[in-house]
Amino acid sequence: MYWALILGVIMANVVIVFMFMNEAAANMFTKIDFPIVITAFALMIICIFLSRSVFKKRLELIQSKPVLAEKMSSYRVALVIKFAFLEFPAFICIFLFAFSNEVVIMGVVLVILGYYLSEKPSRQKCYSDLCLNDNEKMMLDDPDAKICEITV
């Protein structure tokens, strides 16, 4: 899921850049439209802050759950919300670029993608985020352990 979200942003970025490459190159060294650029930066900063704060609040709720399956299910939801807050400004900035041809906005998209890459989920982050005890860690490390069931 993580890589699919990143690739979605990258593919949208590539399509928009190729569609508007000639116009953007012509406007690269002209006057910068500061309100649009400031909007893009502000949106990025606000969404990164919201991503972090909402994720931390969700983690506080998750850590109090007694059952590992509930913790993992809720943790997955918290990660989706966190990544949605990071994906939203990237797509808005891509569309702002399409309408304004401000190359600086592509830099904002790259910063968002860089931050997104730094937030890649891992087993160790899961352990530390959820404050798992040794028994729960052993269950997650066991390939035969049944942690949760997905019913369709």
Render pLDDT for 52-110 as a digit per residue (tens, 0 to 9): 999 999 999 999 888 888 888 899 999 999 999 999 999 999 998 888 878 888 889 99
User: Does the residue 84 lie in any domain?
Assistant: yes
Q: Is it the case that residue 151 has pLDDT exceeding 80?
A: no
Most confident range, picked from 24-28, 55-59, 121-125: 55-59
Question: Can you give the pTM of this predicted structure?
Answer: 0.82
Q: Quick one: pLDDT at residue 40? A: 93
* Whether the Cβ atoms of residue 48 and residue 86 lie closer than 8 Å to each other: yes
Provide the token pair at 46. 């606000």
**Residue 123 included in any domain:** yes
Say if 31 falls within a structural domain. yes
- pLDDT at 23 (0 to 100): 65
Least confidently predicted of 25-34, 76-85, 123-132: 25-34
Please, what is the average pLDDT of the chain?
86
Residue 26 has pLDDT above 60, yes or no: no
- Domain residues for the domain of 18 are 2-141
Domain assignment of residue 148, yes or no: no
Report if residue 150 sits inside a domain.
no
Residue 51 lies in a domain: yes
Structure token digits, residue 10? 């990258």
pLDDT surpassing 70 at residue 152 = no
Q: Specify the number of domains making up the chain.
A: 1
Alpha-carbon distance of 142 to 127, in angstroms, equals: 14
Question: Is 149 domain-assigned?
Answer: no
Q: First-to-last CA distance in the chain?
A: 19
What is the secondary structure of 127-148 as a DSSP string?
Answer: HHHHT--HHHHHHHH-TT----
Q: CA Rg, the chain, in Å?
A: 19
CB-side exposure of 57: number of CA atoms within 13 Å? 8
Examine residue 36 and state whether it is found in any structural domain, yes or no: yes
pLDDT of residue 149: 63
Predicted pLDDT of residue 30 = 66
